[in-house]
C-alpha cells in the first residue's frame, strides 16, 4: 500500500485491510496527516467532524490517512489512540477501534511498543542495530512463552515518526511483518512491536486489588480457585514447553559464578534504593539492620558447599532455560477467548506478557527463579504469605515433588527476586510504596535462607507455608 504523509492537522483513523488472517480480517494501523484535497475512499466531511470531536476529548495523537491504490479498505467509525505510556525502555501507545461482523461487535485493541534509548545496569538500548535485534527478540520470545496464545503478538511494523527521542506521538505505520526476518528489515527504520491490547481489568495486578478486603484481609480461597491455580499451572506448562539451554550455556548462565556476579549487581542496586529511601525520609526502622544481614547472608550462601551443590544439580537437571524473566502480576493477563463462529466468550486464557528481551543474565535462569518473582509479587501486593506459598508449593508439586535441589534453592530465589522487584520499583518506577513492600517480603523471607545455611546436606528442607513458615515438603 502506498500513501503520502502531508504536514497539516493531526488526526488518527484505524483502517482494516480485508485479507485472510485469523478471523478472516487482517488489520494494520495506517496513520498519516490529512490535507485539503482529494481523499480516495474516505468521506472527508463526516470523518473530519468525528476526528475533531475526538481531538476535543483527548487533545493529542490524532491523524487521518490519505491513501491510494486498489486495496479494499474500510474506515472504522470508532477510532483513536487512547493513551501513550512511557516506560524505562519504551513508548507504548494503545489504539482502540470497533469493527462489526454481522450482528457481533468485536473489539480491536492494539498496543504499539517503540524502544527508546536506555543505558542502565540492567539493560542498554542504543544503536539502531541493537534496537532491531531487541525487537526481533521480543517478538520471538513473547510468542515462545505463549505457545497457546499465538494470536496475541501480531508482528513488527515499520513506522515513521517526526518527534525526537523515538516518541510515537506522531506516527505512521506503513508496513507489517507477521514473521519478520532480520534481512527483511532496515535497522535505520523505526520499528514497533504490534500486539493485541488487553485491558487493564484483565491484569492479575488488577484482580489482586479486588482480592484485598477493606480490612486488609485476603480472600485466599477465592483468589486461588478463581485464577491463581490456573495461572500457576499455565506457568508450569510454559516451563515444560521451553527448551533447556545447552550444557555449556546452562553452566554459563545458571552456574554459581554467574549467580554470584548477578547478586553483586543486585546488592549494588539495592544499596542505591536503600540510600534513596533514607534521603527521602521513607526508610523504615528495620532497613539498616536488614541491609547488614542481607549482605552477610548473601556472602555466606556462596561459600556454602551444599548450596553450591544444589545449584550444580539444577544445571545438570537441565532446569536452566531461556525463561520469561519478568513474571510479575502486571505482566499476566486473563484474556477473554472468543468463538470464531459465534463471537461469544467461551473461556479465559492466561497470557504472559512482556517477556524479558534485553538481558540474558535475567532470562537465562532456573525455572524456580522464574516462578519466584510471581510468588513474591503476590505476597507484596496482598500481604499474604499463605497465598504466595500456595503458588510455590503447587508449582513444586507439579514440577519437582521430590526434587531436593529445587526445594533447597527456593529460599534464595525468593529473597533475590524480592530485592530485585523492590529496587526496580524504587529506582526506576518511582513507586516507593510498592518497593518497600517488596523489601519487607525480603526481610520476612531472609530468616529461611539463613536457616538454610545451617541445614546439613541430606536432611529435609523446610519451606515456607503461611505466616509462621512451618511446613515441610
Report long-range pairs for 380-383 (Cβ below 8 Å, ≥24 apart).
380/418, 380/421, 380/434, 380/437, 380/438, 380/440, 380/441, 381/205, 381/208, 381/209, 381/212, 381/329, 381/434, 381/437, 382/208, 382/211, 382/212, 382/218, 382/223, 383/212, 383/216, 383/218, 383/437
Residues 125 and 245 reside in one and the same domain: no
The answer to whether residues 379 and 388 touch, using CB atoms and an 8 Å cutoff, is yes
Are residues 297 and 188 located together in one domain of the fold? no
Residues 156 and 225 in one domain: no
Provide the b/e sequence for 276-309 (b: ≥16 CB within 10 Å).
Answer: bbeeeeebeeebeebbebbeebbeebbebebbee
- Arithmetic mean of pLDDT, 194-216: 83
Domain boundary among 197, 225, 247: 197
Cell output for 337: 477467548
pLDDT, tens digit, for every residue of 212-233?
776 667 888 888 988 999 999 9
Question: Is the same domain home to 300 and 382?
Answer: yes
- Mean pLDDT value of segment 426-445: 96
Tell me, yes or no, whether 171 and 211 share the same domain: no
How many domains is the chain built from?
A: 2
Task: Verify that 370 and 420 share a domain, yes or no.
Answer: yes
The CA distance from 389 to 378, in Å, is 9
Q: Do 134 and 266 fall into the same domain?
A: no
For residue 456, pLDDT over 60 is answered with: no
Q: Which of 152, 172, 197 is the last residue of a domain?
A: 197
Give this prediction's pTM.
0.75
Classify each residue of 233-259 as buried b or exposed e, where b means 16 or more C-beta atoms within 10 Å of its C-beta. ebbbebbeebebbeeebbbbbbbbebb
Q: Could you tell me which residue, 204 or 222, shows the higher pLDDT?
A: 204
176 and 213 together in one domain: no
- Sequence-separated (6 or more) residues with CB below 8 Å from residue 464: 385, 388, 389, 392, 411, 414, 445, 448, 471
Strand partners, 67: 3
Mean local confidence (pLDDT), 14-18: 31
Domain stop point among 197, 215, 230: 197
| pLDDT digit string, tens, across residues 259-278 | 999 999 999 999 999 999 99
Same domain, 422 and 345: yes
Q: Residue 171's pLDDT is what?
A: 52
What gap in Å lies between CA 192 and CA 91, rounded to an integer?
Answer: 9
Is there a single domain that holds both residue 115 and residue 142? yes
Looking at residue 336, what is its pLDDT? Answer: 65
Residue 364 has pLDDT above 70, yes or no: yes
Residues 56 and 91 in one domain: yes
Does the pLDDT of residue 74 top 50, yes or no?
no
* 304 plus 393 within the same structural domain: yes
330 is in which domain, residue-wise? 202-472
Instruction: Read off the CATH number of the domain in which 445 is found.
Output: 3.90.1200
Q: In this model, does residue 79 exceed pLDDT 50?
A: no
For residue 82, list its beta bridge partners: none
pLDDT at 214: 65
Confidence (pLDDT) at 219: 85
pLDDT above 70 covers a percentage of the chain that reads 66
Whether residue 367 is predicted with pLDDT greater than 70 in this model: the reply is yes
Amino acid at each position: 500500500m502506498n500513501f503520502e504523509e502531508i504536514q497539516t492537522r493531526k488526526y488518527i483513523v484505524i483502517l482494516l485491510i480485508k485479507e485472510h488472517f485469523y478471523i478472516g480480517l487482517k488489520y494494520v494501523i495506517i496513520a498519516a496527516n490529512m490535507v485539503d484535497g482529494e481523499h480516495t475512499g474516505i468521506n472527508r466531511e463526516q470523518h473530519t467532524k468525528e476526528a475533531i470531536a475526538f481531538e476535543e476529548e483527548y487533545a493529542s495523537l490524532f491523524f487521518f490517512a490519505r491513501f491510494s491504490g486498489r486495496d479494499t479498505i474500510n474506515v472504522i467509525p470508532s477510532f483513536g489512540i487512547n493513551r501513550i505510556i512511557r516506560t524505562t525502555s519504551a513508548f507504548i501507545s494503545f489504539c482502540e477501534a470497533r469493527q462489526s461482523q454481522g450482528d457481533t461487535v468485536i473489539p480491536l485493541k492494539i498496543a504499539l511498543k517503540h524502544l527508546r534509548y536506555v543505558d542502565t545496569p540492567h539493560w542498554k538500548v542504543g544503536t539502531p542495530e541493537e534496537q532491531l535485534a531487541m525487537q526481533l527478540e521480543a517478538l520471538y520470545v513473547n510468542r515462545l512463552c505463549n505457545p497457546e496464545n499465538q494470536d496475541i503478538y501480531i508482528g513488527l511494523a515499520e513506522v515513521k515518526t517526526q518527534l525526537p527521542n523515538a516518541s510515537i506521538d506522531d506516527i505512521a505505520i506503513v508496513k507489517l511483518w507477521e514473521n519478520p526476518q532480520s534481512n527483511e528489515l532496515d535497522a535505520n527504520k523505526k520499528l514497533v512491536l504490534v500486539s493485541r491490547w488487553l485491558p487493564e481489568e484483565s491484569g492479575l495486578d488488577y484482580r489482586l486489588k479486588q482480592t484485598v478486603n477493606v480490612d486488609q484481609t485476603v480472600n485466599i480461597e477465592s483468589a486461588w480457585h478463581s485464577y491463581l491455580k490456573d495461572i500457576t499451572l499455565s506457568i508450569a506448562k510454559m516451563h515444560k514447553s521451553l527448551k533447556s539451554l545447552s550444557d555449556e550455556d546452562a553452566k554459563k548462565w545458571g552456574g554459581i559464578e554467574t549467580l554470584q556476579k548477578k547478586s553483586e549487581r543486585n546488592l549494588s542496586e539495592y544499596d542505591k534504593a536503600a540510600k534513596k529511601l533514607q534521603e527521602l525520609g521513607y526508610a523504615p526502622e528495620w532497613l539498616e539492620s536488614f541491609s547488614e544481614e542481607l549482605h552477610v547472608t548473601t556472602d555466606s550462601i556462596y561459600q556454602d558447599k551444599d548450596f553450591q551443590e544444589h545449584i550444580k544439580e539444577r544445571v545438570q537437571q537441565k532446569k536452566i532455560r531461556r525463561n520469561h524473566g519478568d513474571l510479575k502480576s502486571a505482566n499476566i493477563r486473563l484474556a477473554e477467548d472468543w468463538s470464531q463462529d459465534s463471537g461469544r466468550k467461551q473461556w479465559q486464557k492466561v497470557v504472559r506478557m512482556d517477556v524479558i528481551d534485553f538481558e540474558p543474565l535475567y532470562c537465562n535462569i532456573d525455572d524456580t527463579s522464574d516462578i519466584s518473582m510471581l510468588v513474591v509479587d503476590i505476597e507484596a501486593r496482598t500481604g499474604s504469605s499463605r497465598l504466595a506459598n500456595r503458588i510455590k508449593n503447587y508449582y513444586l508439586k507439579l514440577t519437582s515433588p521430590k526434587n531436593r535441589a529445587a526445594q533447597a534453592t527456593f529460599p534464595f530465589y525468593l529473597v533475590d527476586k524480592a530485592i530485585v522487584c523492590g529496587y526496580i520499583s524504587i529506582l526506576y518506577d518511582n513507586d516507593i510504596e510498592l518497593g518497600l513492600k517488596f523489601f519487607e517480603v525480603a526481610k520476612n523471607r531472609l530468616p529461611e535462607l539463613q536457616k538454610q545455611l545451617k541445614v546439613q546436606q541430606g536432611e529435609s528442607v523446610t519451606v515456607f507455608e503461611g505466616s509462621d513458615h512451618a511446613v515441610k515438603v
